[in-house]
């Protein structure tokens, strides 16, 4: 019978990458996720929320590791529990665990073999994936041949991404992919993710740090206490928080001097200080940080810690909770 194959194939190509309807998950009496609805067509969608908000639960449901208590998850028109749907999903877990005795290349190859690829095909795909995550260039030619137990965090993250993309999935699910990376590693990794999205793969990635997602995601989904609080494009979020005062905390042995120098600045709307630190309220934290740098260079003040708490996230949560 060939007739049903046509609509099925059509559904696969036209259906959204991910459709979540009325999705709830309970862990006994505890609600992990509550009535979540979400549709992803393409691009990078960030899932953000504090620890314990339900991000990992959502991602595990999307990858078919957990069964929904209520609701359904469909990947390209198919139930996520079906083998066909799972072939379309690449998953990069947040856990830093591997078959440590293997090399990076062997690990990716082994994952492809588990996905059902023949040996030759697995070898070719593993090489392509290793190259795609930047572990095959001449400067680091030995990296993918190094045992995983001896690899750095950045290399391990790249291998995790390589195993997720090696079978060329159309939906990539990344759980906290940037955590534990240094700034350079973050930038490189972000480029890899952007490259995947540019090649047409839909990406769903979680983070509890909004600034990470700012640089990557087209859309942000905000989750708190298992509820989906907001699902908007980044520009919409930016408009929400524009003009909100942000608190910048400076720890310094020259607290009084720094407070005095900046108290009259038009950038600062309020100043609080004690013996150890000074807190400035500002609508333009970037300009204030540049001003602080200038004070350090020109006036010889010392700064031991500069902290810009994530007011952006707070603003979003405030707004979403109030909505």
Partner 1 sequence: MKEPKEFRGLLALAKLTARRQFWTKKTLLAIALIVVACLSAVRWRALKDPNSVRQQLRNSRTPEWLRQNWPDRLITVALAAALRVPSPVEYVRVNYKPNPTLYFAEENAMRLFVGFFLPILCLLYAAAALGEEYEERTFVYVLARPLTLWKVYLAKGLGIAPLLAVATVGGSGLLCLSAGSAGREAWPLFWPAVAAGALAYGSLFLMIGALAPKPMVVGVGYAFFFEFIAGNLPGTIKRASISFHCRCMMYDAGSHLGFQPLSARQFMPISGELALIVLVTMSVMLLGFGAWRFHRREYRDLT
Residue closer to partner 1 by CB (options 158, 167) is 167
Q: How far is the CB of 28 from partner 1 (least distance, A)?
A: 11
Size of the site for partner 1 (CB under 8 A): 34
Q: Which of 18, 53, 58, 89 binds partner 1 (CB under 8 A)?
A: 89
Q: Which of 74, 86, 156, 158 binds partner 1 (CB under 8 A)?
A: 86
Rounded to whole angstroms, what are the CA distances from 254 to 52, 251, 266?
Answer: 39, 8, 21
Tokens 């260079």: give the residue.
Answer: 297
Q: 98, 183, 180, 193: which is closest to 147 by C-alpha?
A: 98
Binding segment (CB under 8 A) for partner 1, from list 81-89, 233-241, 278-286, 294-302: 81-89
Alpha helices (runs of H) in the chain, residue ranges in sequence order: 5-14, 55-62, 83-87, 104-114, 119-132, 153-165, 183-198, 210-214, 234-241, 255-263, 285-299, 311-322
Maximum alpha-carbon separation in the chain = 82
Q: How far is the CB of 67 from partner 1 (least distance, A)?
A: 6
Residue closer to partner 1 by CB (options 153, 187) is 153
Q: How far is CA 162 from the centre of its chain?
A: 16
With binding defined as CB under 8 A, does residue 103 bind partner 1? Answer: no
- Using CB under 8 A as the criterion, what x/- string covers residues 17-56 for binding partner 1? ----------x----------------------------x
Q: How far is the CB of 120 from partner 1 (least distance, A)?
A: 8
HSE-CB at 299 with a 13 A cutoff on CA atoms is: 16
With binding defined as CB under 8 A, does residue 63 bind partner 1? Answer: yes
Residue closer to partner 1 by CB (options 99, 260) is 99
Q: Which of 115, 232, 281, 284 binds partner 1 (CB under 8 A)?
A: 115
Tokens 């952007």: give the residue.
Answer: 194
With binding defined as CB under 8 A, does residue 156 bind partner 1? Answer: no
Residues with Cβ within 8 Å of residue 138, at least 6 apart in sequence: none
SS3 state at 55: helix
Separation CA 36–CA 26 (nearest Å): 13
With binding defined as CB under 8 A, does residue 94 bind partner 1? Answer: yes
With binding defined as CB under 8 A, does residue 207 bind partner 1? Answer: no
CB atoms within 10 A of CB 42: 15
Separation CA 234–CA 271 (nearest Å): 30
Q: How far is the CB of 55 from partner 1 (least distance, A)?
A: 11
Binding segment (CB under 8 A) for partner 1, from list 98-106, 210-218, 235-243, 247-255: 98-106
Do residues 204 and 197 lie in contact, with contact meaning Cβ atoms separated by under 8 Å? no
Binding segment (CB under 8 A) for partner 1, from list 59-67, 128-136, 212-220, 273-281: 59-67
Strand pairing of 277-282 and 305-307?
unpaired
Binding segment (CB under 8 A) for partner 1, from list 108-116, 182-190, 245-253, 270-278: 108-116
- Find residue 306's DSSP bridge partners: 250
Binding segment (CB under 8 A) for partner 1, from list 10-18, 62-70, 194-202, 313-321: 62-70
List residues near partner 1 by CB under 8 A. Answer: 27, 56, 60, 63-67, 83-84, 86-87, 89, 91, 93-95, 97-101, 110-111, 113-118, 121, 163, 167, 175
């Amino acid at each position: 019978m060939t007739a049903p194959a046509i609509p099925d194939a059509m559904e696969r190509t036209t259906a959204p990458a991910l459709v979540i309807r009325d999705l709830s998950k309970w862990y006994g009496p505890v609600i992990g996720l509550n009535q979540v609805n979400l549709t992803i067509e393409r691009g990078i969608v960030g899932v953000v929320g504090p620890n314990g908000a339900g991000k990992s639960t959502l991602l595990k449901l999307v990858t078919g590791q957990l069964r929904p208590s209520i609701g359904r998850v469909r990947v390209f028109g198919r139930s996520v529990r079906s083998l066909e749907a799972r072939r379309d999903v690449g998953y990069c877990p947040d856990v830093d665990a591997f078959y440590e005795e293997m090399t990076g290349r062997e690990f990716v190859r082994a994952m492809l073999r588990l996905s059902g690829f023949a040996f030759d095909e697995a070898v070719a795909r593993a090489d392509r994936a290793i190259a795609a995550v930047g572990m095959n260039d001449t400067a680091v030619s030995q990296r993918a041949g190094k045992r995983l137990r001896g690899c750095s965090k950045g290399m391990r993250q790249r291998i995790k991404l390589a195993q997720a993309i090696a079978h060329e999935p159309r939906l990539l699910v990344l759980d906290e992919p940037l955590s534990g990376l240094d700034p350079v590693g973050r930038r490189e990794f972000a480029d890899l993710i952007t490259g995947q999205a540019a090649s047409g793969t839909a990406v769903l990635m979680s983070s509890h740090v909004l600034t990470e997602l700012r640089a990557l995601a087209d859309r942000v989904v905000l989750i708190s206490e298992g509820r989906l609080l907001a699902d908007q494009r980044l520009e919409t979020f930016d408009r929400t928080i524009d003009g909100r005062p942000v608190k910048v905390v400076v720890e310094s042995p020259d607290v009084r001097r720094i407070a005095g120098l900046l108290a009259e600045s038009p950038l600062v709307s309020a100043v609080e200080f004690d013996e150890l630190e000074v807190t400035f309220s500002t609508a333009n934290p970037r300009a204030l940080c540049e001003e602080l740098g200038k004070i350090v260079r020109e006036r010889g003040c010392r700064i031991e810690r500069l902290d810009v708490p994530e007011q952006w996230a707070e603003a979003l949560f405030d707004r979403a909770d109030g909505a």
